[in-house]
C-alpha cells in the first residue's frame, strides 16, 4: 500500500507504479511507457489502492464533499 510520506496522494500512486517497474528490463522508452500505462490502468480499477493512498496522507474526501460548490464565473448569461 501507500506510505504517509507526503500530503499528495499522487506520490503514493507513483510509488506503486515504480515498485512494479523496478525489475523491468525495457528495450526502449516505448516499452516503459506501455508498462506505466498498463499499471496505471490496473490501479484505476482498484479503488482500494487509491483510497489507501488518500488515507495515508491523512486527508479526507468527506471534507471536500461537504463544502459548498464554487460558483462558475466563466459561463455567459443567457
- Residue whose entry in the numeric block shows the C-alpha cell 507504479: 17
- Model confidence band, residue 37 (pLDDT cutoffs 50, 70, 90): very high
- Model confidence band, residue 58 (pLDDT cutoffs 50, 70, 90): confident
- The CA distance from 35 to 3, in Å, is 23
- The CA distance from 71 to 12, in Å, is 31
Higher pLDDT, 72 or 16: 16
For the chain, how many residues are written?
Answer: 78
Q: Is the pTM of this model over 0.85?
A: no
Amino acid at each position: 500500500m501507500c506510505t504517509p510520506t507526503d500530503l499528495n496522494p499522487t506520490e503514493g500512486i507513483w510509488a506503486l507504479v515504480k515498485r512494479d517497474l523496478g525489475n523491468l528490463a525495457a528495450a526502449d522508452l516505448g516499452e516503459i511507457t506501455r508498462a506505466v500505462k498498463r499499471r496505471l490502468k490496473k490501479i484505476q480499477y482498484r479503488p482500494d489502492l487509491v483510497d489507501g493512498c488518500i488515507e495515508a496522507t491523512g486527508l479526507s474526501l468527506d471534507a471536500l464533499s461537504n463544502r459548498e460548490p464554487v460558483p462558475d464565473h466563466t459561463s455567459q448569461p443567457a
